[in-house]
Every structure is written in structure tokens, then in C-alpha cells.
Amino acid sequence: MRPAPILSAFRQALGEAWAGGAGALLPLGFFAGAAVLVPLGIGTDPQTLRAVGPGILWVALALSSLVTLERIFQADTEDGALDLWLQTGAPASAIAGAKTFAHWLAAGLPLALLSPLLALMFQAEASTDLLRNAALYALGGLAFYFWGGVGAALSATVRRGGLLISLIALPLYVPTAIFGALSMTHGPGSESAPLFLAASTLFALAVAPFAMAAALRLAAD
Amino acid sequence: MRRGVTEPLLSANGLGMIRGERVLFTGVGLSVAPGESLVLRGSNGAGKTTLLRILAGLTRPEAGEVTRNGLHHWFAHREGLKPHETPRTHLGLWAKAWGSDSDLDSVLVQMGLKRPADVPARYLSAGQRRRTALGRLLLEKRPIWMLDEPYTALDAEGRDLVLELIEDHLKSGGGMIAAIHGESGFVPTNEVVL
């Protein structure tokens, strides 16, 4: 197996995410916008905001991840680049995984990095470890992007497949959302929740690339 | 069908394909030996592109099998160019992906892309985009070339250039399969009519 095509796919996807005018900023704006709107909707009671804050951020993170996923495979399918990637001799699963990982790095990781700032808007307690939470958001976001990538690959040949991606990916987001939100509470099971969150991300990393590869082969067929 | 004495670079037999409820072709057999060229002929919608995609391993045939001995280059209608890519970045990307160390500048000059080398593809003409994609054939030596309508959108000079590339490739022991609709400009070793 030659690693060169996989590295190239990674670099190309990373460049792609920023090409054509800061496309990676779009989920960031969506994430911040959604988080800012919630306090306006439910009022400014600090107790309430503190209780719902982490959960709202998980939901906002899940939805923001869907904003740009449509682009990762659709353009390749339309302009013929997918045919070239499938003929590099490298496993299609590795190519798809590399592209999705690059996409998470460009569009998903910034969301996690912004989360401490948004947490402050939700009246996070001074004792809250915001950096730990940011790391958990990053970890969960990785799972979101990989499941979303499966949806993106399945709908690569569908015009305006964004909605389809959501329908395919959202059910797969459930375990990550549950354990992610649980890991930020003090309720029962919250100590082991980060481990379950990590497990759900590892599962996504292990399974999603093969599902993407199968879907992309079908799209090229 | 004539067969060379040497081991074929690519051979296929009993290929059959169905699209929708229509049988595109059945029982297609072919082989390409070093130095040989094969031209696929047929009217629009006869399945030339589909056959080429089957030979490249992109589409699974309904029946039959394909054996390829060695890597191949793929050049089709959709060039695989992104709107923001320039000829230089596109060829650079694939040179890296294939681990080839060929000189990009000389490829750009050879393809007549010296002037628009740094122009994003959305500003390139159709012919320039085709030339960029054809430049990939020169990045790495591969025994089999698969070309789908290689002359589309090219001017007379570009056509001559492609002919020259094909001749050089065949002379150096390569094999080629091309779907060509009109005049091919050369005498192919074999033809498959769909």
C-alpha cells in the first residue's frame, strides 16, 4: 500500500476546505449563531442557562457539522476527480477517511476551540474545566464528521443532498450526543461517560471509512 | 481478434452490461498487447464510455471479467479539475499522489500550458482544461492508457499533440484503449464496434 495517495487526498481536502472563500468559517458562524440565539429564546436566568448550556452546545455542534459535509464528496463526483481517486491503488476507505479527517480538522476542530467562549455565555461555573470540555467536543465532533461523511458519500450523486445527509447521519449521532452531554453533567454515570464517548468515536473511525468507500464505489459505478 | 505473441497488458472476455432494462452489449472480448492500440467505436449511447469504465475497474460488469497487467492512466470527459485548481497545482497534486518526480515545468511546456500555468481552472478554456488533464499522462509512465474521446474541445495543434503522445507511448511498448467517435488520425491495431 502506497501512502502517497492518502497523504495527497488529505492535503487536497484541507486546501479544498479553505478554497473558494473561507468555506470552513460557515459552520463556525452557524455554531456561534445557534448558541447565541438560545439564551434569547429561553431567557437569561443563569440557573437555566447553566443547566442547558453543554447540551445546547452538543446539539449545535451536531448540526453545524452537517453544514459543509455536502461538499466533501459531491464535487469529486461531479468533476470526475472521484474516478481518479478510486484508481490510485490506495484503498478507497483510506482516501475517504483522510478526506473526512482533513475536513474535520478544517471545519470541526475550530468549533471545539470556540466552545469555551460559548460556554461562558451559558454562565458556566468557575469550577468547570472548559479545556476538558473543549477536548470532549473535539472528540465527539470527530465522530459526527465521520458519520456525516457516510451520509455525504451515500448522497454524493444526489443534487442538493444536504437534507439526505442529515436524515442518514442524525440517527448515527445519537450515541455520541448522549455520552457527550452526559460527560458534562454531574449525574450518575458521568464519570465513565468520556470513555463511552471515546468508544463511540473510535467505533465511527473504524467503521465509517469502509461504509464511505462502499458508497463511493457505488457512486462511481 | 488478433492476438500478439507477448503477454497482453489488458484482456477481457465475455463482458456484458445492462443499463436500466436495456442490454448495452454482451460477449465483448478484447486484448491489448504492448505497442497495440484499440479503438472503441459505436454511436452515441452505445456504451463506449461504460465499456471503458469497466476496463478501468470503475464499473462492475454484469458478466465477464477483465485482467489488467499493470497500472493505467485514465482520461475522460470530466477532467477531475476543481475550479480553483491551476494546471500547475493540479498536475502537482497528482504527481505527489502517484509519487512521481517528473519535472512539472517541462510537462506544462509540452502540453502548451506555459502561459496559463497559474490560472485557476474556472478561467481556462475547455481546450486548456483538457490539456491540463492530458498532462497527467506524462507525469508517470504507465503501461496502459485509457482515453475517452481524447480529441474533444482540442484545436488542430492540440490534436496533433495528442497523436504524437499516443505514438510515443505505443512505440515505447505501451498499450492504449480509446473511445473515439470521429476520425482517429491513426491506424488502430484493433477495433471494437459496439
Residue A129 sits in which domain range?
4-220
- 10 Å CB burial of residue A180 (0-12, 13-18, 19+) is buried
Cell numbers at residue A56, please?
Answer: 445546547
| CA–centroid distance for A26 within its chain | 13
Average pLDDT of chain A is 89
A199: Cβ–Cβ under 8 A, 6 or more apart, which residues?
A: none
Q: What is the Cα–Cα distance from B9 to B71, expressed in whole angstroms?
A: 9
Query: At A23, is the pLDDT very low, low, confident or very high (cuts 50, 70, 90)?
Result: low
pLDDT 10s digits, A24-62: 788 889 999 988 888 888 888 888 888 888 889 999 999
- Residue A18, chain B, CB below 8 Å: the answer is no
How much is the pLDDT for B1?
A: 47
How much is the pLDDT for B169?
A: 94
Contacts of A9 in chain B (CB under 8 A): 97
Cell numbers at residue B123, please?
Answer: 478561467
Query: At B40, is the pLDDT very low, low, confident or very high (cuts 50, 70, 90)?
Result: very high
Quote the minimal CA–CA distance from A83 to chain B in Å.
7
Query: At A21, is the pLDDT very low, low, confident or very high (cuts 50, 70, 90)?
Result: low
pLDDT 10s digits, A158-187: 877 788 888 899 999 999 999 999 998 888
Q: What is the Cα–Cα distance from A83 to B85, expressed in whole angstroms?
A: 17
Question: What ipTM was assigned to the predicted interfaces of this complex?
Answer: 0.90
pLDDT beyond 80 at A199:
yes
Answer yes or no: are the C-beta atoms of B97 and A88 closer than 8 Å. yes
Q: What percent of chain A has pLDDT over 70?
A: 98
Identify which has the larger pLDDT, B171 or B45.
B171
Record the pTM. Answer: 0.90
Q: What is the Cα–Cα distance from B117 to B108, expressed in whole angstroms?
A: 7
* Interface-testing mutation among A87, A216, A218, A221, with chain B (most B C-beta atoms within 10 A): A87
Report CB contact under 8 Å: A80, B77: yes
Q: What is the Cα–Cα distance from A10 to A98, expressed in whole angstroms?
A: 5
Q: Can you state the angle between helices B156-171 and B126-139, rounded to 10 degrees?
A: 10
DSSP H stretches of helix in B4-86: 48-56
Could you give phi then psi for residue B186, rounded to 5 degrees? -145, 170
Average pLDDT of chain B is 90
Answer yes or no: are the C-beta atoms of B135 and B91 closer than 8 Å. yes
Domains in chain A, number: 1
